[in-house]
């Protein structure tokens, strides 16, 4: 049992796992959290990165995907609370109680990067998305759709197309998801109050700590 183990003992336990010894997984830090903490439901933001391989057209010496268009179209989503049912797969997210299919994208970026491979470098399109929540397959469908739109003739493109598709809630209008190989969960954020040990303190001590946070304006 690890009930009374300290964080160093937990790190030692995990560092002896076969997956870590083979270099498949790294653990950098271990912190104690309240018993009610849940790594999924307690998250207030998540960051995903997707790497999409690029080719250069010999005729026009440009990438086969319009990077600037994808960037502008994705940024139209920022800080809007939108229904993303059209970009999800699986269960119907337009019905039921709660948040349903609404998500908010806080940050998006699309840029070309080079990944060294031996003596050559491969150019890939790096997508970064940060949001409060993501539905099933949402990232891969969203990026597949914006890439599809970037391949249209200039006079048929609409930089607001992703917002329009969100509002349509029609999955038939969005693209099939990109392969999962290029997707990576790159970060997760939590409210420091949920991680703080003062949650387990006596009520009087907890009030003292919260009062100090409010006085110093340190509440996250």
What's the pLDDT tens digit per position in 204-213? 766 765 665 4
Buried b (16+ CB within 10 A) or exposed e, 132-167: bbbbebbbbbbbbbbbebbeeeeeeeeeebbeebbe
Residues 27, 29, 35, 38, Cα dihedral to 10°: -60
Predicted confidence (pLDDT) at residue 19 exceeds the cutoff of 50: yes
Query: Tens of pLDDT along 107-122?
Result: 999 999 888 877 777 8
pLDDT at 2: 45
Helix, strand, coil percentages in the chain from 3-state DSSP, rounded to 5: 35, 25, 40
Highest mean predicted confidence (pLDDT) among 31-40, 51-60, 147-156 = 147-156
Say what percent of the chain tops pLDDT 90: 38
173: tokens are 């209008």
Q: Mean of the pLDDT values across residues 130-140?
A: 91
> What is the maximum span of the chain, computed from C-alpha positions, in angstroms?
72
Cα gap 170→210, rounded to integer Å: 46
Confidence of residue 160 (pLDDT cuts 50, 70, 90): very high
Handedness of CA 152, 158, 160, 165 (dihedral sign): negative
With bands split at pLDDT 50, 70 and 90, how would you rate the model's confidence at 197?
A: low
Q: What is the C-alpha end-to-end distance of the chain, expressed in Å?
A: 34
The contacts found for 148-152 with CB under 8 angstroms, 24 or more apart, are 148/175, 149/69, 149/73, 150/65, 150/66, 150/67, 150/69, 150/70, 150/73, 151/64, 151/65, 151/66
* pTM listed for this prediction: 0.76
pLDDT higher for 11 or 74? Answer: 74
In this prediction, residues 126-132 reach a mean pLDDT of 94
Q: Is residue 95 very low, low, confident or very high in pLDDT (cuts 50, 70, 90)? A: low
């Amino acid at each position: 049992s690890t009930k009374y183990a300290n964080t160093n003992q937990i790190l030692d336990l995990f560092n002896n796992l076969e997956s870590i010894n083979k270099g498949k997984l790294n653990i950098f830090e271990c912190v104690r959290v309240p018993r009610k903490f849940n790594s999924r439901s307690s998250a207030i933001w998540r960051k995903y990165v997707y790497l999409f391989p690029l080719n250069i057209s010999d005729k026009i010496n440009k990438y086969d995907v319009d990077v600037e268009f994808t960037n502008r179209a994705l940024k139209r989503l920022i800080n809007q609370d939108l229904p993303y049912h059209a970009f999800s797969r699986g269960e119907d997210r337009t019905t039921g109680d709660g948040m349903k299919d609404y998500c908010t994208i806080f940050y998006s970026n699309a840029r070309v990067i080079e990944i060294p491979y031996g003596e050559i470098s491969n150019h890939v399109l790096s997508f970064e998305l940060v949001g409060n929540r993501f539905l099933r397959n949402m990232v891969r469908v969203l990026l597949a759709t914006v890439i599809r739109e970037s391949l249209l003739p200039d006079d048929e493109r609409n930089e607001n197309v992703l917002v329009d598709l969100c509002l349509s809630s029609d999955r038939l209008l969005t693209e099939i998801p990109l392969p999962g190989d290029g997707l990576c969960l790159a970060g997760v954020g939590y409210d420091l109050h949920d991680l703080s040990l003062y949650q387990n303190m006596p009520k009087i001590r907890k009030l003292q700590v919260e009062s100090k946070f409010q006085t110093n304006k340190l509440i996250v």
